[in-house]
Amino acid sequence: MTIQERLLEAVEQKLLRPIDAQFALTVAGNDDPAVTLAAALLSHDAGEGHVCLPLSRLTLTEEAHPLLVACISETATPIDWKKRLLASAAVSCGDSPAPLILCGERLYLNRMWCNERTVARFFNEVNQAIAVDEDQLSRILDALFPPTDEVNWQKVAAAVALTRRIS
């Protein structure tokens, strides 16, 4: 059975949405069937609110997607997902434009990967330490929070809030 037939069968069984199958066939339809399968599962997961598809989800486990089980059981050899994905023109590691991005052990839709990078960049830029007089800060916090034998988490939270832009 071809990957196209598998995808259509998965749509009929309501394991995938029609858009998942269409996306996979459009992005990687004439490519390696493993790439087409990964694209379909990525689209499916994105439709459920996930940002990426961890490659660990592409292994046969009890929780494995039924489409994955059906497709992998037809091949006698284990799939080297990273190698197969990066061999496709539909997949990039982020250094060139492609609809799918493989970053570490995660496969992203390009748009989701760009959004993740934007958010990460924002937090890295704004979460720099604020210059404060540590002695003065310590005196003020000691005056506001009496000493205890245990860690005073409210005092810790106040210190973090005063020394970081994001806490």
Q: Indicate the domain borders of the chain.
A: 3-123, 134-163
pTM: 0.74
Tell which wins on pLDDT, 66 or 121. Answer: 121
Q: Provide the token pair at 27.
A: 């992005």
Distance CA 108, CA 27 (A): 13
Backbone angles phi, psi at 107, to 5 degrees: -105, 130
Residue type, 136: Q
**Sequence-ordered list of residues with C-beta below 8 angstroms from that of 123, at least 6 positions apart, any chain:** 166
The tens digit of pLDDT for each residue in 127-164 reads 777 888 889 999 999 999 988 899 999 999 999 888 88
Percentage with pLDDT > 70 across the chain: 89
* Rg of the chain over all Cα atoms, to the nearest angstrom: 24
Q: Provide the token pair at 136.
A: 């003065």
3-state secondary structure 87-105: CCCCEECCCCCCCEEEECC
Distance CA 131, CA 80 (A): 48
The tens digit of pLDDT for each residue in 24-53 reads 999 987 778 889 999 999 999 999 999 999
Backbone angles phi, psi at 45, to 5 degrees: -65, -40
Tell which wins on pLDDT, 64 or 137. Answer: 137
Distance CA 143, CA 120 (A): 36
pLDDT number for residue 125: 84
164 DSSP 8-state letter: B
- The residue with tokens 């497709």 is 71
The tens digit of pLDDT for each residue in 72-123 reads 666 545 678 899 999 999 999 999 999 999 999 999 999 999 999 999 999 8
Task: Write the DSSP string, 107-129.
Answer: EEEHHHHHHHHHHHHHHHHH-PB
pLDDT number for residue 58: 81
CATH 3.20.20.110 for domain 3-123, yes or no, is no
Residue 126's pLDDT band, with cuts at 50, 70 and 90, is confident
pLDDT number for residue 131: 85
3-state secondary structure of 156: helix
